[in-house]
Copies of this chain bind each other. A is one copy, B any other.
Amino acid sequence: MDRKFRFALQASDGKARRGTITLPRGTIQTPAFMPVGTAATVKAMLPESVRATGAEILLGNTYHLMLRPTAERIDRLGGLHRFMNWDGPILTDSGGFQVMSLSDLRKMSEQGVRFRSHIDGSEHWLTPERSMEIQRLLGSDIVMCFDECTPFPADAATARASMDLSMRWARRSRDAFGDRPGYALFGIQQGSVYPDQRGESAARLREIGFDGYAIGGLAVGEGQDKMFEVLDYAPGMLPDDRPRYLMGVGKPDDIVGAVARGVDMFDCVLPTRSGRTGQVFTRRGVLNIKNARHQDDPRPIDDSCSCPACRSYSRAYLHHVFRAGEIISAMLLTWHNLHYYQVLMAGIRDSIESGCFAEFEATFHAARRQGDIDPL
């Protein structure tokens, strides 16, 4: 088996890129969307169903897994892939973002973050070294540097101090990761909304050298306009020959706009979380299956969709099981949403290959302006 992490660019169209990531556990066609499997499960889905939607890589959350069932336990049980029955590649985050948003009583220092578990109050440390160790114990194929996700808004001085810290932690992450053939380490660019800081962060990461580069500190409340402003320049500061990953993004139109600006990889809880709250993604926008107008509607969510929810169930049925609180509602709506996201990515990839990404974008936005199918 080829033990090398590789990224090959097949085509580009404007700034949009069509590539392939090769890892020992499988290849990933980019632009790619990674479903989130927080606690060793993509919520409400069997892994073979996630695979059936077209997903080629999952994201796992270091923070959740280190607390329960613990990285050491997963290691003893043969690693995360075997534990959760997913044999494709897995990317894990560093735990840095979620320790700040979820844990109790955290205390940050140059060394790292000390915090208490939101589950049982137990005390833990996360440092660049510990994050690398946890991600190695999990068996993650793509490991993320431990960093601080700079909050938004941040003034220039605050953003710089945070970026500086993240760059020092990037160095320590790289050193702690070591040489692990077949496994990849991604650096994370910070710098908030300041072009000079984004540039400096990119330069420092390139100097350290990573297999891929993430764009961090976005999708944290700044809004799409501001995010696109940063994406107008930030991806171009990163190496052309490495994948670029926009963490935690996003809505379908966020993804299309980010691809147009040169991003290759995405992850987001939106399709899975929305599946559990009755929000359904379609090429004509979002609909809420809870709405009473669906209760007598014999039509599928989208008659052009080939997911199990659309092939075999009416809106009326999906409305009924959602209102009744039935688990099958989360199962079918999550499946539909993940299917929609993968179909979106496949459409994006095809259009870049054939040099008509601009037409794809135009069609994408036109369908959404049309809104949901006509009432009965």
Contact = CB atoms under 8 A, between A and B. Distances in A.
A358 B321 CA distance: 43
Nearest to A276: B327
Nearest to A324: B39
Please tell me how many copies of the chain the complex holds. Answer: 2
Interface stretch (A89-97, A107-115, A131-139, A308-316): A308-316
B73 A328 contact: no
B328 A327 contact: no
A67 to B, nearest CB: 10
Contacts of A39: 320-321, 324, 326
Contact of A321 (B40, B323, B328): B40
Nearest to A321: B41
A23 to B, nearest CB: 22
A180 interface: no
B43 A316 contact: no
A331 B327 contact: yes
Interface in A294-319: 295-296, 298, 308, 312-314, 316-317
A330 interface: yes
A83 interface: yes
Given A83-B314, A327-B327, A327-B331, A296 B40 contact: no
Given A85-B312, A320-B40, A295 B327 contact: no
Contacts of A321: 39-41
A331 B330 CA distance: 11
Given A77-B314, A313-B85, A321-B39, A327 B69 contact: no
A324 B330 CA distance: 17
A100 interface: no
A44 B45 CA distance: 11
A317 B43 contact: no
Nearest to A326: B41
A152 to B, nearest CB: 30
24 contacts: A39-B320, A40-B317, A40-B320, A41-B326, A41-B327, A44-B327, A44-B328, A45-B328, A46-B308, A46-B332, A68-B323, A69-B316, A69-B320, A73-B295, A73-B296, A76-B296, A77-B296, A77-B298, A77-B314, A77-B316, A78-B298, A83-B316, A85-B312, A327-B330
